[in-house]
């Protein structure tokens, strides 16, 4: 059939109307903690993400996972080089070296890395006339979370009508589908898709035929329906193997997060005030671990959110959140946003994940094979993939699958949680009423044995950390988990918290072992955020030796909460103006420098 000029005009009017609708839908975002009426302009928050097309080797991934501070920043800068084929939203459909234009682009990355924000950026830029204007007449956004809520049979036309608010008469919809090569469909969150796709499913090639959503998605991926349309599919890494069964020769793009410049841009966009942004950046850059985790956009948001609340109270009264509190908020946020629809026993899951993390810390292992995962009874599904990423490496003529936490520091945080979880935190079956007394005595005895075993393991970790540097951050997190705030958070989230006996062990060990590493012990004191605890420990140590890798915040906090005056020896340290000012304010706590 020949399209009439009248239909073409109506289609263009409808297209403009649809673009306006998309602009309204995507021009604002709401933060997780938004109140009624709170909104942020998308353009004022979105920050460029590093996107590459090259797979990395096992050694390269290990470097990304283990390095922190300046070394990690250098790695991220290196990943921006041509060696790793960096790309951008604008270039996703550029021809490859063989002059072939991809029909499908798969964008993968861990939870919180910015996949959905990237999809929304594409939608908004297209609707504003700034992206893909000569390539696509229509761009449709389909969230797999929304697809999960569809229970009845539906056509692809109905799906687009329902999810994309494309409201037009059937003859115009037919005109849209006639030029399917001018259509881009974004399927966001394939890993969250609840329906199961099977190879033996029938196919559908009619965009107006109603069928199951499983058949529609499979037909769309395998180019049986709207066969000339282009696709962008976002997913977490664990679903890549499943996706590979249904898409042919896609362009592979991985989101790596923020480079150093991107992090700085994010802070400035978030605060919308140069002085506040610089103050926050200066504070967070002192903590190499936290600044490294800012590679993940959601961590940037968490840090900026809590620091803004402090900064607004006065720029000179600002303290960064402790590392422990930020990592706790990171876990809490991912479980709240991405784990809310999962049907699982949280305490069972967290115990298994913590055991995996702890074993890896002791063995200095950051890439886990499938045997390690199975040994802990873990299955890499929706909830596990919040914190475990799938990595596929080439080994000789085969490929192997390994799993890792998003960074070693996240693994160390879960390893610390391992020493806090009690074996009796899971609810017991109360249906058996016989032999109540005997059972309660046996349970109490088992509890005592478990507690003693946990305390022995706990003390061994503290002892071994003196000789083994790779255990230090786990110990630091343990001090943070002993704080009153984190104890309350743990109780709320998981139903357990650190026992008073454990806290006593931590204080006793620090008082006995303080001289062996003043720098690290000051970090541990800072993580507790317990003024009385800090005062008791600091009162025993008048002389401190501080090296070049010290943290001014940790030193400042410890001195301010000490009732004694101290002799401090600094060596191999350059003090900038800000550090000099902080040190000047602490001189009254020092009888000799």
User: In the structure, what pLDDT confidence band is assigned to residue 438 with cuts at 50, 70 and 90?
Assistant: very low
User: In the structure, what pLDDT confidence band is assigned to residue 458 with cuts at 50, 70 and 90?
Assistant: confident
Q: Is 10 exposed, middle or buried (0-12, 13-18, 19+ CB in 10 A)?
A: middle
DSSP string, 396-459: TTEEEEEEEESSHHHHHHHHHHHTT--TT-SPPP----TTHHHHHHHHHHHHHHHHHHHHHHHH
Q: What are phi and psi of 573, to 5 degrees?
A: -125, 135
Q: Is the pLDDT of residue 444 over 90?
A: no
In a domain, 383, yes or no: no
Q: Specify the pairing of strand 388-395 against strand 398-405.
A: antiparallel
> Who wins on pLDDT, 238 or 585?
238
In a domain, 13, yes or no: yes
Residues 215 and 125 in one domain: yes
In whole angstroms, what is the distance from residue 42 CA to residue 30 CA? Answer: 9
> Who wins on pLDDT, 580 or 489?
489
Residues 146 and 295 in one domain: no
Name the domain boundary from 257, 282, 317: 257
Q: Specify the pairing of strand 543-546 against strand 566-570.
A: parallel
| pLDDT for 59 | 94
Name the domain boundary from 224, 242, 257: 257
Contacts of residue 217, Cβ cutoff 8 Å, sequence gap at least 6: 147, 187, 193, 195, 197
| pLDDT for 542 | 81
**C-alpha torsion sign, points 427, 432, 433, 438:** negative
Q: What are phi and psi of 187, to 5 degrees?
A: -105, 105
Residue 496's closest CA among 330, 326, 354, 361? 354
Residues 16 and 163 in one domain: yes
Dihedral angle of Cα 402, 408, 412, 417, to the nearest 10 degrees: -60
In a domain, 524, yes or no: no
Residues 32 and 96 in one domain: yes
In a domain, 163, yes or no: yes
Q: Is the pLDDT of residue 375 over 50?
A: yes
pLDDT in tens, 489-510: 999 888 888 888 889 999 999 8
In a domain, 280, yes or no: yes
Residues 14 and 153 in one domain: yes
CA atoms within 13 A on the CB side of 38: 7
Residues 207 and 287 in one domain: no
Look-up: residue for tokens 């709170």? 38
DSSP string, 170-231: HHHHHHHHHTGGGEEEEEE-GGG--SPP-TT------TT--B-HHHHHHHHHTTSSSTT-EE
DSSP string, 80-107: TSGGG-EE-GGGTTS--TTSPPPSEEEE
Residues 252 and 272 in one domain: no
> What is the average pLDDT across 5-20?
87
User: In the structure, what pLDDT confidence band is assigned to residue 570 with cuts at 50, 70 and 90?
Assistant: confident
Residues 271 and 248 in one domain: no
Range of the domain at 320: 262-330
User: In the structure, what pLDDT confidence band is assigned to residue 46 with cuts at 50, 70 and 90?
Assistant: very high
| pLDDT for 434 | 41
| pLDDT for 200 | 83
Mean pLDDT of the chain: 87
> What is the average pLDDT across 417-430?
62
**C-alpha torsion sign, points 529, 532, 536, 538:** positive
The secondary element (H helix, E strand) that includes residue 577 is helix 577-585
Name the domain boundary from 213, 238, 257: 257
In a domain, 250, yes or no: yes
Distances (CA, A) of 355 to 309, 352, 504: 35, 5, 23
> Who wins on pLDDT, 92 or 347?
92
| pLDDT for 471 | 95
Q: Is the pLDDT of residue 581 over 90?
A: no
Contacts of residue 137, Cβ cutoff 8 Å, sequence gap at least 6: 15, 176, 179, 182, 183
* Number of domains present in the structure of the chain: 2
In whole angstroms, what is the distance from residue 476 CA to residue 449 CA? Answer: 26
The secondary element (H helix, E strand) that includes residue 578 is helix 577-585
| pLDDT for 453 | 78
| pLDDT for 548 | 64
Contacts of residue 384, Cβ cutoff 8 Å, sequence gap at least 6: 238, 349, 353, 378
Residues 318 and 247 in one domain: no
In a domain, 313, yes or no: yes
Q: What is the CATH number of the domain that holds 178?
A: 3.40.50.300
Please count the other Cβ atoms lying within 10 Å of the Cβ belonging to residue 174: 16
pLDDT in tens, 267-280: 999 999 998 899 88
User: In the structure, what pLDDT confidence band is assigned to residue 347 with cuts at 50, 70 and 90?
Assistant: confident
Range in 35-39, 93-97, 124-128 with the lowest mean pLDDT = 35-39
User: In the structure, what pLDDT confidence band is assigned to residue 430 with cuts at 50, 70 and 90?
Assistant: very low
> What is the average pLDDT across 98-116?
95
Residues 121 and 206 in one domain: yes
Residues 231 and 161 in one domain: yes
> Who wins on pLDDT, 317 or 171?
171
> What is the average pLDDT across 74-100?
95
**Token pair listed for 110:** 């861990």
Residues 23/124, Cβ–Cβ less than 8 Å? yes
> What is the average pLDDT across 99-128?
96
DSSP 589: G
Q: What are phi and psi of 268, to 5 degrees?
A: -65, -40
| pLDDT for 167 | 79
> What is the average pLDDT across 16-43?
92
> What is the average pLDDT across 571-588?
72
| pLDDT for 429 | 38
**Token pair listed for 520:** 């690290």
Residues 140/160, Cβ–Cβ less than 8 Å? yes
| pLDDT for 565 | 84
In a domain, 577, yes or no: no
pLDDT in tens, 252-269: 999 999 999 999 999 999
Residues 41 and 21 in one domain: yes
| pLDDT for 585 | 74
| pLDDT for 279 | 86
């Amino acid at each position: 059939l020949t399209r009439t000029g009248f239909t073409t005009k109506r289609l263009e009017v409808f297209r403009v109307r649809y673009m306006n609708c998309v602009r309204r839908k995507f021009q604002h975002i709401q933060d997780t903690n938004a109140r009624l009426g709170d909104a942020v302009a998308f353009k004022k928050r979105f920050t460029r993400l590093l996107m590459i097309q090259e797979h990395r080797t096992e050694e390269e991934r290990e470097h990304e996972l283990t390095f922190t501070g300046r070394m990690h920043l250098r790695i991220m800068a290196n990943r921006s080089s041509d060696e790793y084929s960096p790309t951008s939203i604008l270039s996703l459909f550029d021809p490859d070296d063989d002059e072939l234009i991809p029909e499908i682009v798969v964008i993968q990355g861990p939870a919180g890395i910015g996949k959905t924000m990237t999809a929304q950026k594409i939608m908004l830029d297209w609707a504003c006339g700034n992206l893909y204007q000569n390539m696509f007449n229509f761009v449709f956004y389909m969230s797999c979370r929304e697809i999960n809520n569809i229970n009845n049979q539906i056509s692809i036309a109905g799906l687009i009508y329902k999810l994309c608010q494309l409201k037009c008469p059937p003859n115009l919809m037919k005109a849209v589908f006639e030029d399917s090569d001018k259509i881009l469909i974004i399927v966001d969150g394939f890993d969250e898709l609840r329906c199961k796709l099977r190879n033996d499913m029938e196919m559908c090639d009619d965009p107006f035929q109603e069928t199951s959503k499983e058949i529609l998605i499979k037909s769309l991926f395998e180019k049986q329906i709207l066969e000339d349309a282009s696709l962008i599919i976002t997913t977490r890494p664990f679903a890549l193997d499943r996706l590979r069964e249904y898409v042919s020769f896609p362009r592979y793009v991985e989101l790596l997060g923020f480079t150093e410049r991107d992090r700085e841009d994010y802070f400035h966009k978030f605060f919308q005030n140069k002085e506040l942004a610089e103050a926050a950046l200066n504070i967070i850059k002192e903590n190499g671990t936290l600044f490294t985790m800012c590679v993940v956009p959601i961590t940037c948001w968490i840090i900026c959110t809590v620091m803004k609340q402090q900064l607004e109270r006065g720029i000179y009264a600002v303290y960064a959140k402790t590392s422990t509190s930020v990592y706790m908020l990171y876990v809490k946020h991912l479980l709240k946003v991405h784990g809310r629809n999962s049907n699982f026993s949280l305490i069972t899951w967290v115990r298994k994940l913590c055991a995996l993390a702890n074993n890896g810390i002791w063995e200095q292992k950051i890439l886990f094979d499938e045997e390690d995962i199975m040994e802990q009874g873990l299955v890499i599904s929706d909830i596990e993939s919040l914190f475990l990423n799938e990595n596929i490496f080439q080994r000789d003529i085969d490929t192997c699958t390994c799993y890792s936490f998003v960074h070693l520091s996240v693994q160390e945080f879960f390893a610390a949680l391992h020493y806090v979880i009690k074996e009796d935190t899971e609810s017991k079956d109360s249906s058996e009423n016989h032999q109540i007394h005997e059972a309660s005595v046996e349970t109490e005895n088992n509890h005592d044995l478990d507690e003693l075993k946990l305390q022995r393991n706990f003390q061994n970790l503290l002892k071994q950390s003196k000789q083994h540097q790779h255990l230090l951050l786990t110990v630091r997190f343990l001090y943070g988990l002993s704080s009153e705030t984190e104890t309350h958070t743990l109780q709320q989230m998981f139903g357990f918290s650190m026992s008073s006996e454990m806290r006593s062990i931590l204080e006793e060990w620090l008082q006995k072992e303080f001289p062996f590493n003043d720098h690290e012990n000051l970090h541990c004191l800072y993580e507790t955020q317990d003024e009385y605890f800090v005062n008791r420990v600091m009162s025993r140590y008048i002389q401190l030796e501080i090296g070049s890798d010290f943290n001014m915040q940790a030193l400042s906090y410890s001195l301010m909460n000490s009732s004694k005056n101290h002799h401090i020896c600094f060596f191999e340290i350059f003090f900038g103006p800000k550090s000099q000012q902080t040190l000047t304010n602490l001189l009254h706590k020092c009888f000799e420098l």
